[in-house]
Structure 1
Amino acid sequence: MSNFRSPFVPSTAEKLNPTRVKLTVEIPFADLKPYLDKAYKEIAESVNIPGFRKGKVPAAVIDQRFGRGVVLQEAINEAVPNAYNAAVTEHKVVPMAQPEVEVTKLEDNELVEFTAEVDVRPEVTLPDFAAITATVDNAGDVDALVEERIELLRERFATTTEVERAAAEGDVLTLDLEAKQDGETLPDATADGITYKVGQDQNMLEGLDEAVTGLKAGESATFTSTLVGGQFRGQEAEITVTVQKVSEQKLPEVDDEFAQLISEFDTVEEMKEDLRKGAEQQVKTDQLADARDKVLEAVIEQVEVPLPESVLSRELEARRGEVQRQLASGGLTVADYLANAEDEEAETEEEFWATIDTRSEQALKAQVVLDVYADEHSIDVSQQELTELIFRKAQQNRTSPQDEINHMMEHNHMPEWMQEIRRGKALAAICADAKVTDADGNAVDTSLAVDPIEAADEVTAEEQAEENETDA
């Protein structure tokens, strides 16, 4: 990297549209001279010319042997980035992409002029955040969540015993399933050795509970149902279910012995109290996460954020590629994902990708808003905050802090990581100003809705996972 930092003048800025600027910069030869001297020196040290010691070749000889134009090109290439950065600072524009640079004038010993067209962050008028309102669902039922967690623990430590009687509610069965249409077996809808608990909603085939109830091992039943997965998702088929094994499940009693088995506590009351604390924290965390998202959505709805087409296009392409890599890592296609995702509203691949594009665009707009807020409120990132992020990433990735520092330096991630912390702090401040109520009209304290370090870690962890997949 060059040590020269000349304040190149003059420069002008022309706004081509709300998201694109054309900078015109002149570099007087007085400012270019250090770069010319450096270019001559480097060439002199890299060539062997009879009659001259290495590194002592005069400039006139280099001009004669290689051409003055070669030296000028080297010097200009070295000077332009610093000149461009100085112009960016002077005109207070925030680039969102690499500039398109063109040398438009070269008068030897006089001046060099170049233009740089670049996509820039649009000017954004922020709303009164104290006037932002949002409504979230009531906090979850803590008692119900505690009972759910206890039941999950009982399931985990349950015992099963194979029985010869007919299947009844609560039994654990081993099943074979075969689906047919017009008498033809559908391979994609056929499976053997499925474990299924009768009476427990497992998002399986409608009518399966009724079909297996009363069957003994070795017996079969046939019923008609709508397929819920695979390429025949949503189509009706004739299903034959065969019970291979019936097992009776015995859940442990919720008593002190159970508490000692599954936890560090001696009594069931202590265990439940600990579960309650965790449940209270969970429902509050979920509600605050919902509040954070709702506030940011409300802000974006009130702010006009034009985006550079090329920047948006690259963002959409990158996000689609990331989703495709995630699906591929799980051996899934989009169709497979849609067939099995419970909360996915999209029914077709076109709808799925349209949703991904919309979310990506909204995320980019949110970044712009948060960056503008951070600039207007002079939000800084301390060394302690960056250190905290590094330690958190090390704990999450089961590496050492030094490993994370090495990764950060190797990939030049420090500016990105600090920017994500800055955005997290901006979002925390915005959420604290906004007014959020639950469905019953009760105020929700959003002062702790965002942990800036945690928010930064979530974003950088996604980027690092994508980076690792790309490297692999």
Structure 2
Amino acid sequence: MAVAVKKWEKVEKNVGVLEFQVGEAEVTEALDQAFKKVVKGVSMPGFRKGKVPRAIFETRYGVEVLYQDALDILLPIAYSQAVREANITPVDRPEIDVVQFGKGQEAVIKATVTVKPEVELGEYKGLEVEKKDFTVSAEQVEEELANLQKSHAEIVVAGDDVAVENGDIVFMDFKGFVNGEAFEGGEADNYQLEIGSGLFIPGFEEQLIGTKKGEEKEINVTFPEAYHVKALAGQPAVFKITLNDVKRKQLPALDDEFAKDISEFNSLDELKADISNKLQEKAEQDSKNYLEEAVISKAVENATIDIPTAMFENEIEVLMNDFKQRLQMQGIPFDAYVQFTGASEESLKDEFRGQAEARVRTGLVLEAITAAEGIEATDDEVNVELAKIAESAKMEVDRVKSILESRDPELSNLKNDIKTRKTVELLVSSAK
């Protein structure tokens, strides 16, 4: 397509006007396509529907009726080409002003475009970060071992005269009342609840402690102000309960037999050594993550950027779509989630706003550092990354490459990931 940029001029910090022209031949072709589309629905005496000759159509209706459809056909491709020629990166939909468009003419278009902002980098090498200890202690190993012990506990009946303790599992009938009236969803028979789980309204579980099997009790609580059922939010309530049964976790002995039962190890010492090794691997990864996040955060803090609102809004939409997809994977319809939690699409977007702004700001700064340092992804690095993906997906490398290139012919996303990783490594290696 014959597209020529006449002028690109900034009118604000991140907004400019892009003026470009499209050749007469391209305009004619767009008008031809528009006519073929429009004429299908045209009926005229003496002609079958959709078979009206072009000259008669234009005499009757005027060529101008084709202009909007022709522009819809022409503009997307012409605008994209003009953007590439002007070497700018739009971050929002443009505002289009058609200066000239007509049969037998070149088209002249002005587009008001919001573009990616320029980043004024501050210090990003030799950054000082607070040291943090990730050493694995003996207490952490014992705590992890205790968690394993609890997860393999046997549930036994506590006995008729045993008072409920924190961690016990109770079975109860209950019925809830607000202002003396039973409310919907506030009743259950033989409901199972682990004391200390925090699943019930604050204060409910604590009031069950000390109760014995067969006892009846009234529990007084107040629904949270942010409770998902608006009619109950902030309301005091009384629950009448009958305790049917109490069960307790019986912990297995921590010995060699325990290690054999739950693992491939023959002794408790071997199991502890394995726990220690896994905690150490996690600590090393946590340390790496902490250092990366710390230096990135400081580099971002030291940079100056005036970011267009559109970039934040676009990122919020990305986060929102990711959230909906995760719900779908769990088999939870979004409408059901909203109804259950009392949230709304707008309130969720507000929650995502801070994360979206941080992601946009961080991405821009890392991209600017990558450019400033001339960091590139080599062919060897791309091949290594493709091999990793292929191994993970249990596919041939050529097949993986073919799939990725079908979506991204230049493998730009993969290369950008490599460049970003190298940029973060540069920040970390120079940090103090």
Q: Tell me the TM-score normalized by structure 2.
A: 0.70
Tell me what 1:266 maps to: 266
Q: CA deviation at 1:107?
A: 9.2
1:180 and 2:184 aligned: no
Tell me the percent identity.
19
Which structure 2 residues correspond to residues 231-242 of structure 1 after superposition, within 5 A?
231=229, 232=232, 235-242=235-242
Map Cα deviations across residues 292-351 of structure 1 (whole Å, 9 max, x no partner): 44444444333332233444434434544554665653742287278xxxxxxxxx9987
Rounded to whole Å, the distance in 2 between the matches of 1:143 and 1:240 is 46
* Cα offset, 1:37, TM superposition: 9.5
CA contact (8 A) 1:142 1:279 kept: no
1:21 aligns with 2:16: yes
Following superposition, the deviation at residue 97 of structure 1 comes to 3.8
Contact 1:12-1:23 at 8 Å conserved across structures: yes
Equivalent in 152, 156, 163 of residue 157 of structure 1: 152
Find the residue that maps to 1:129 and give its secondary structure: coil
Give per-residue Cα distances to partners, 1:408-436, cap 9 Å, x unaligned. Answer: 5676597674366156426623641574x
The answer to whether the 8 A contact 1:133-1:434 is kept is no
Cα distance in 2, alignment partners of residues 337 and 393 from structure 1: 39
Specify the alignment match of 1:469 in structure 2.
none
Write the distance in 2 (CA, Å) between the matches of 1:281 and 1:404. Answer: 30
- Partner letter of residue 173 of structure 2? D
Aligned to 1:359: 355
Matched, 1:329 2:319: no
Distance of 1:212 and 1:101 partners within structure 2: 69
State the Cα deviation string for residues 434-470 of structure 1 (Å, max 9, x = none): 74xxxxxxx7xxxxxxxxxxxxxxxxxxxxxxxxxxx
Alignment of 1:332-347 (within 5 A): 332-333=337-338, 336=341
**CA offset at residue 172 of structure 1?**
2.9
Q: Deviations over 1:11-56 (max 9, x none)?
A: 3211122222222234567xx69x989999xx99xxxxxxxxxxxx
Distance 1:296 1:151, change over 3 A: same
Equivalence for 2:364: 368
Which amino acid in the other structure matches residue 161 of structure 2?
Answer: R
CA distance in 2, matches of 1:76, 1:211: 72
Residue 226 to residue 39, structure 1, CA distance change in 2 (3 Å): closer
**d(CA) in 1 for partners of 2:425 and 2:57?**
59
CA distance in 2, matches of 1:224, 1:140: 45
1:178 counterpart letter in structure 2 = K
- The CA RMSD measured in Å over matched residues stands at 4.8
SS in 2 for 1:151: helix
Task: Encode CA deviations 1:57-88: one digit per residue, 9 max, x unaligned.
Answer: xxxxx997999x89999999998777655654
Given that 2:218 and 2:240 are in contact with CA atoms closer than 8 Å, whether structure 1 keeps it comes out as: yes
Could you report, residue by residue, the CA deviation over 1:116-171 in whole angstroms, capped at 9, with x for unpaired residues?
33221111111211254454865386444433332332233222222333234354
Partner of 2:414: 418
Counterparts of 1:425-440 in structure 2 under 5 Å? 425=421, 428-429=424-425, 431-432=427-428, 435=431
Name the TM-score, length of structure 1 as normaliser: 0.65
Aligned amino acid, residue 369 of structure 1: V
CA spacing shift, 1:123–1:269, aligned 2, 3 Å: same
**Aligned 8 A contact 2:387 2:397 in 1:** no
Distance 1:73 1:159, change over 3 A: closer
- Give the equivalent residue in structure 2 for 1:148: 143
* Matched AA of 1:218: G
**CA 1:387–1:321 in structure 2 vs 1: closer, same or farther (change >3 Å)?**
closer
State whether residues 167 and 214 of structure 1, in contact with CA within 8 Å, keep that contact through their aligned partners in structure 2: yes
1:286-305 alignment to 2 at 5 Å? Answer: 286-305=286-305
Distance change (3 Å), C-alpha of 1:389 and 1:74: farther
Instruction: Report how far residue 111 of structure 1 moved.
Output: 5.4
Q: Unaligned 5+ residue runs, structure 1?
A: 45-61, 339-347, 436-442, 444-472
Opposite residue 355 of structure 2, the aligned amino acid is R
Moved more, 84-93 or 150-159: 84-93
Q: What do residues 228-252 of structure 1 show as CA deviations (whole Å, max 9, x unaligned)?
A: 6553455443333322212243211
Q: How many residues end up aligned between the 2 structures?
A: 398
Q: What SS is found at the alignment partner of 1:379?
A: coil
Give, in whole Å, the separation in 1 of the partners of 2:131 and 2:340: 32
Q: Which amino acid aligns with 1:220?
A: E
Q: Deviations over 1:167-203 (max 9, x none)?
A: 34354322334333332234344444443445x5646
